[in-house]
Chains A and B, each alone.
Chain A
Amino acid sequence: MLRLASLAIGEKAVIRGFEGDRRDPNFPERELAVLTLMKAGFLPGAEVCVVARGLGGDPIACDVRGARVAIGRTEAEIVDVDRMRIS
């Protein structure tokens, strides 16, 4: 499954869900992260476009639901996406 974290700058995708790696021992606050992401507009079915990445790819700036939001790489790792064809 493709993750939001692996998209390149300029790529568009549709959010599928928050499957991610549920067993990641380094990321116990996954549920909280999912809720925080959803409140920021990262909903299943929403279009997301990566517009910038920080040093080393962290954080990731995306356009989602009409707003520009920066999320950490760890957070972007739990967002499953389907890549859209760039028109």
Chain B
Amino acid sequence: MNSSSEHVISIALAGAPNAGKSTLFNRLTGGHQKIGNYPGVTVEKKSGHLQTPAGHHIELIDLPGTYSLDAQSEDERIAVESLFAERSSCPKAILVVVDASNLERSLGLVLELKKLDQPVLIALNMMDLAIKRGLKLNRLILEKEIGYPVIPTVAVNKRGVEALLEGIDALVERVEPKKLSSPLERLKSIEFTAEAIEDRCRTVDGILASALIEPTRADRVSAALDKVLLHPILGIPILLFVLLLVFEAVFTWASVPMDWIESGVAALTALVANSVPESWFRDLLSEGVIGGVGSVVVFLPQILILFTFILILEGSGYMARASFLLNRIMSSVGLRGQAAVPLLSSFACAIPGIMATRTIKSPRERLLTMMIAPLMTCSARLPVYTLLVGAFIPAVTIAGFFDLRGLVMLALFLVAVLSGMIVAWLLGRFAIQGKSAPFVMDLPTYKLPSPLQIVIGLWVRAKFFLRRAGTLILGISVVLWVLSTYPKAPEDSLVPAIQTSYAGQMGAALEPLIEPLGFDWRIATGLVPGFAAREVMVGALGTVFAIEDAEESGMATLQERLRSTWGLPTALALLAWYVFAPQCLATFAVFRRESGSWKWTAFTFAYMLGLAYLSALVTFQLASLIF
């Protein structure tokens, strides 16, 4: 058959995430991926294109769902149904990823898919691990018993992927162009009663009884690791130690590349100063563009280090253990362990965190988790924390190992977690009604995380962060530079030029409101644009101080300038403000989309703003008494 671009064959990809489905999806489609939404529901539709050796154009659609087509939320069921409802979008064949080391569990899905009466190809994934754990099976018998071709694969290995592509070609040949009965009706005919589930499991047992020569042994390494990591006494301290290590690494390891970026920015500023004739344009370039963007880009190393750890924790299987260990704390505030992963992701950024709440089946717990997700210390807060902690907290070593600055950072994280818990408890108790879903969570075997997945994950974050720095933050930096440069002060003015500018005027107007918090007009100048994105504050302070000092000699760093301008109470109050302040437009845009409610979006914004003001007020007033 001669394939043309009009003739794209859509194939659905089913299987559990633990079976390496997303790695396989990445391997098969490479960079040709598209992420959209299913109509009417908040379920991500991930699809990608690939070409088979025989030249077929395949659209691979990643199906939501895990071990069962029914295992997911109401929204995800609607999404799958919408896919099968349209003749045009309906997948013509199905590729199922099955975890070879866990056949008892994962073959049930294949039996469910049988009802669809479509060609199916089974990718028996992670064969290497299964064989290592003693699996011996007769593939021909397995194929005969289950009724579909089976291809053993290793998702990270090229050879398995090639065999799979050939298998897809054979799969395409089996697609019948005209089917009479509706695929949607067949989808709906899959039963999920207790009897049907039990029946499928018995069938799986029967298939395995004849196809298996040696079953997979329990993973000894995982069992041994769980003995320690899930230990009733050791488990929590180990988790805390891991988290502390992550924060220390983010703070200390990043300093070297950060220095490089800083000197790069300084060199660039010098280059502009030497090569561009003195004009408003030169000032805009060096103070607005390079100064503003540079002071945000400098935090890229920290963000990448944090994400490396999060991706390793996820890929290794420890993240599920963290949910397990934290379940008790979660349930004390009306949430379950499943809320832990979205919340932990929110430590990187609340946006993926809020999106990750899609895996929470109970609508009530999902809304609750979304409402506290923006309180978790996201990476955009790090620039502000690092700047202020670095400027005001001395680098003293405590107990021979921990840096006082690292401990202060940890305290900021813990305050955020604690207040998130309290808010969740209050909201769950008094504001949000609804049912909770049963708590059943897989603890996947431990694996060495795939470097490819980590690199792809880091690349996506870095791109997102740099694009923001290049667009939103660049725009705000330029606007801010204009606001803080014009109108120019009269020649004989005694006050710094910025004080007579628009920004200075706005800051002065806000001053009475924020004076009880110990904030001056400079902070006010950064706070207004900071509602678009937290890290803008750093750029804003960079711009404000660069301009203010333009007349003075000496090249003090921003931190030295901060130290000489503010007292410790002001710095602490600003830190307290940043723990709570709802300063991220994108988060609230995603919140609105995911919650489908303006009411809860506005409520979340308001409660965070209220908490920010109160905590900064209390911190400043108390600190002023002490210091």
Contact = CB atoms under 8 A, between A and B. Distances in A.
B70 A59 contact: no
Interface in B65-105: 67-68, 70-71, 102-105
A39 B438 contact: no
Given A32-B438, A67-B102, A75-B440, A51 B230 contact: yes
Contact of B442 (A35, A38, A67, A74): A67
B296 to A, nearest CB: 40
B194 A59 contact: no
Contacts of B194: 34-35, 38
A29 B438 contact: yes
B197 interface: yes
B198 interface: yes
Interface in B427-443: 435-443
Contact of A38 (B198, B236, B441): B198
A36 interface: yes
Interface string B553-592: 0000000000000000000000000000000000000000
A56 interface: yes
A65 B439 contact: no
Given A52-B226, A58-B327, A59-B324, A71 B442 contact: no
A39 B70 contact: yes
Tier of interface size on chain B: 35 or more
Interface in B159-196: 192-194
Contacts, number: 130
A56 B226 CA distance: 18
B118 to A, nearest CB: 22
Interface string A3-14: 000000100000
Contact of A69 (B226, B329, B435, B443): B443
A55 B328 contact: yes
A20 interface: no
B362 to A, nearest CB: 9
B539 interface: no
Contacts of A29: 435-438
Given A58-B331, A66-B103, A68-B222, A39 B71 contact: yes
Given A38-B197, A43-B201, A65 B104 contact: yes
B329 A71 contact: no
B113 to A, nearest CB: 15
Given A40-B440, A54-B327, A58-B327, A67 B197 contact: no
Interface in B213-241: 215-216, 218, 222-223, 226-227, 230-232, 235-236
Nearest to B329: A55
A72 B336 contact: yes
B327 A63 contact: no
A33 B435 CA distance: 12
B445 interface: yes
Nearest to A59: B327
Interface in B228-262: 230-232, 235-236
B337 interface: yes
Contacts of A61: 226, 230, 324, 443
Given A40-B440, A63-B218, A72 B435 contact: no
A70 interface: yes
Contact of A43 (B102, B198, B320, B329): B198
A54 B508 CA distance: 53
A25 B563 CA distance: 60
Contacts of A16: none
A66 B337 contact: no
B192 A35 contact: yes
A4 to B, nearest CB: 12
Nearest to A30: B438
A37 interface: yes
A72 B327 CA distance: 9
Nearest to B197: A38
B325 A55 contact: yes
B329 to A, nearest CB: 7
A83 interface: no
A59 to B, nearest CB: 5
A37 B442 CA distance: 11
Contacts of B67: 39-40
Contact of B325 (A33, A54, A68): A54
A59 B329 CA distance: 11
B104 A54 contact: no
Contact of B226 (A33, A41, A44, A51): A51
13 contacts: A28-B435, A52-B226, A52-B227, A52-B230, A52-B235, A54-B230, A55-B325, A66-B216, A68-B442, A70-B441, A71-B438, A71-B439, A75-B438
* Interchain residue pairs A-B with the least CB separation, the first 6: A72-B439, A55-B328, A52-B230, A33-B438, A68-B443, A66-B104
Given A34-B194, A37-B440, A65-B105, 12 more contacts: A32-B437, A38-B201, A39-B71, A39-B192, A51-B227, A51-B230, A59-B337, A63-B218, A66-B218, A67-B442, A69-B441, A75-B438
